[in-house]
Structure 1
Amino acid sequence: MSEITKKALSNSLKKLMKEKPLSKITVNDVVNDCGVNRRTLYYYFHDIYELLEWTFITEIKEVIGENKTYKTWQKGYYFLLLNKIKK
């Protein structure tokens, strides 16, 4: 259940970051978008920046994990950068 909740919080943060700068996003913005209470975010993360760090590391692991051989790691980084820039 915790990974599902973390992913939901992460998705809400990414959605909000498309609308306004990170410095303008509040914990209330994230939890309201996600449909959970403030304590839920604080249970898993110290603050929004820790949530952002978790999001970044998790997404890198997912993309690079699929391309972790010597021959394909560059493709993984390319895919990660290309897709994240377009979104």
Structure 2
Amino acid sequence: MKKQPQVTEQTRANLRQAFWELYAERPVEKISVREITDRAGYNRATFYLYYHDVYELLEEIEETVLGNIERLVNERLLKGDKLDFSQHMGLILRLAGRSRDYTRVLLGPHGDPAFSRRLKEIISPLVDRFFLPAAELDEQARRVVREFYLSGILATIRTWTAEENPMPIDQLIQLVVRIVT
């Protein structure tokens, strides 16, 4: 029996949505396959047709979010000679805003620390390009300054996406640029 692509993708989407609703409430280790399938309206066997376990499902969601950010960094932020930090920070924040529901949870108290590490790795070239080249720093100092900026950017995104009524992106960018520069 051959599965129809539309049905397969809809089933996967339903399982992801059910998982996500649970993950927004509690850590991944406290979520069972049974809870996901009950919420999505499938039996457990259906889950295992698509995923090995709940961690694989979480990884798929994280990869989607990180993949979008990485494409943005690689395609738009690192190309070209004229780079304006505020414009590029705006693009990152807009992307975080578009996936706000995911970003808020993935960077929140139940979030996977590996997600934060990978996000830092992806945006690290921006920090290197905007803040580190002009500075005469040895390698140890470069690592410390890089971590300072990366942690600040992640904390800003975490705080901004967690706000019930977040400030407009342009206002946030102006605030960050004013403080950082």
CA contact (8 A) 1:60 1:80 kept: no
Please list, as runs of the form range in 1=range in 2, the aligned pairs for 1:1-87 lying within 5 A after superposition: 1-61=7-67, 63-64=68-69, 69-71=75-77, 75=91, 77-82=92-97, 83=100, 84-85=103-104, 86=161
Could you report, residue by residue, the CA deviation over 1:7-62 in whole angstroms, capped at 9, with x for unpaired residues?
A: 1101101101122221111010000000000011000011111111112223445x
Q: Cα offset for 1:65?
A: 9.1
CA distance in 2, matches of 1:51, 1:12: 11
CA distance in 1, matches of 2:29, 2:14: 20
User: Whose radius of gyration is greater, 1 or 2?
Assistant: 2
Q: TM-score, normalised by structure 1?
A: 0.75
Q: TM-score, normalised by structure 2?
A: 0.40
> How many correspondences in the alignment?
85
CA distance in 2, matches of 1:7, 1:79: 24
Q: Which runs of 5+ in 1 are unaligned?
A: none
Q: 2:8 is aligned with what amino acid?
A: S
**Percent identity of paired positions between Structure 1 and Structure 2:** 29
Corresponding residue SS for 1:46: coil
